[in-house]
Amino acid sequence: MNFSFSEDQTLLRSSVRAALDEQCKPAHVRAMMEDTGNGYGESLWGEMAKLGWLGLPFAEEQGGAGLGLVELALVLEEMGRAAYPGPYFASVVLAGLGLQAGGRADQKEKWLPAIASGQARGTAALLEDSLDWDPASTTTTATKTGAGWSLSGVKRFVPWAHVADVALVPARAPEGVSLFLVDPRAAGVTVTPMVGIDLTNRWSEVRLDGATGELVGQAGGAGPVLEGLLRRAAVGASAEMLGAARRCLDMSVGYVKVREQFGQLIGSFQAIRHRCAEMLLEVEKAHSAVYYAAWALGAGAEDATMAASVCKSFVSEAARQVCGDAIQVHGGIGFTWEYDLHLYFKRAKALEPLYGDAAYHRELLIRGQVLHSDK
C-alpha cells in the first residue's frame, strides 16, 4: 500500500508546472479569454504535443506515452491550477479515452495518433437539453442510411466543438443508444457558441440535422462505454477543480500574510486563520479523493465506480467552498476583474455540474449500496 507519487510522477508534475508557469501565465489566459478567434494558443498546443501530454494515456503504438490515469490527473490538476484555456480535456479525455474504450481498431488507428500529435482535436457531445447524464436519456436519433447513419437532435454544452475535427456523439438507434463519430464541420451540423462565465472554456450548441455519423463499437452498445467515460471525465474534471482550488488557497494564504487592517496582518486574526485552515483541509481531502479514484479506475479496483462518485461529489463541493472562501478572504480585491482569482473560481464553477454534480453522484452511491445489499 503506497499512497504517494513515484519519482517519475513527481517529475512529470514539476515539468508540467514549469511549462505552464512559463507559457500559460495569467496574461496568456486573459488573452485567450478575450480572443475573438479559437480561444486557445496554437504554440502552446504544439508544445504540449511535443512534451507528450496530448497522447499521455494512449498506448505507445498509437503515438501515446502509455501512462495511466494518475499521471493524467496530475496533468489536469496543473491545468486547473493554471486555468489553462484550450481543448486539452475535450480532446484527450473525452474523445481520446472514449475512443480508446469503445472504438474499433481502425478508428483508434485513425484518430488516437492524430490527437496525440496535436493534428486533430476531438470532443464529446454528452449533454442534451434535459441535462441528464444518464446515457439512457439520449433523445438524438440515429437512422440507418445505406452504408452509414444519419443523426438528428440537439446537443448542448459541447466543449471546444468549434475547433474539433471529430466529436463522439451518443444517439438512439433502433438497437438502443449507440455511439457515433461526427465531423462538426460537415453538412447537417450547426455549431453555435454558448458563452458561460468561465471564458477559459468554450461551449457550443451542436445541432444535428441529418448529419452523417460513423458507428463506434456495436449498435446499441454505448451504455457501458459512456458510463466508463463519464467516470473518467468526472475524475479528470475533479483533478482540474482540485488544481483551481489549490491555486485559490495559495493566493489566499499569500494575501493574508501581507494585507494589513487595524494595524495587523489579517492572517493573524483567527477568523481568517481558521478559514484558511478549513480551506487547506478541504484541498487535502480533495487531493485524496482525486488520486484515490484515479488509481482505482486505472487499476480496475473493486471500488472504482464508487470511488469515482465519491471523488466527484466531494470535490465539486470542496472546490466551490474553497474558491468561494478565497474571494471572501481577499475582500473587495477578490471581486475585481483585474485580480486573477476569478479565473480559478470560475474554472471550478464551470466543472461543478459537469459529468454529474455532487447530488447526482451521491444518489449513484446510495443506489449502488442498496443494490449491493439486496443481492
Residues near other proteins (CB under 8 A): 1-6, 9, 70, 253, 256-257, 264-265, 267-270, 272-274, 276-278, 280-281, 284-285, 288-289, 291-292, 295-296, 299, 301, 306-307, 309-310, 313-314, 359, 361-363, 365-366, 369-370, 373
Supply the minimum distance, in Å, between the C-beta of residue 345 and other proteins: 20
Task: Report the C-alpha dihedral over residues 99, 75, 48, 55, rounded to 10 degrees.
Answer: -30
Nearer to other proteins, 158 or 318 (CB): 318
Which one, 123 or 313, has the nearer CB to other proteins?
313
Q: Which is nearer to other proteins, 118 or 267 (CB)?
A: 267
CB 24 within 8 A of CB 84: yes
Q: Which three cell numbers stand for residue 331?
A: 475582500
**Cell numbers 438512439 label which residue?**
172
Containing 173, the helix (H) or strand (E) segment is strand 166-173
Beta carbon nearer to other proteins, 95 or 242: 242
Q: Distances in Å between the alpha carbon of 303 and those of 83, 238, 293, 294?
A: 31, 18, 9, 11
Q: DSSP label at 220?
A: T
Min CB(325)–other proteins separation in Å: 13
Q: Return the number of the residue (123 or 252) whose C-beta is nearest other proteins.
A: 252
Spatial distance between the Cα atoms of 20 and 44, rounded to a whole number of angstroms: 9
Least spacing, CB of residue 287 vs other proteins, in Å: 8
For other proteins, the closer of residues 203 and 295 by Cβ is 295
SS3 of residue 369 by DSSP: helix
- The full DSSP string for 279-297 is HHHHHHHHHHHHHHHHHHH
Q: Report, in Å, the least distance between residue 363 CB and other proteins.
A: 6
191 vs 232: CA distance, rounded Å: 26
Q: How far is the CB of 289 from other proteins (least distance, A)?
A: 5
Minimal distance, residue 226 CB to other proteins, in Å:
22
How many Å apart are CA 147 and CA 145, to the nearest integer?
A: 6
- Decide whether 194 or 277 has the Cβ nearer to other proteins: 277
Q: Cβ 328 to other proteins, closest distance in Å?
A: 16
Under 8 Å between Cβ of 173 and 142: yes
Is the C-alpha dihedral spanning 333, 338, 342, 346 positive or negative? positive
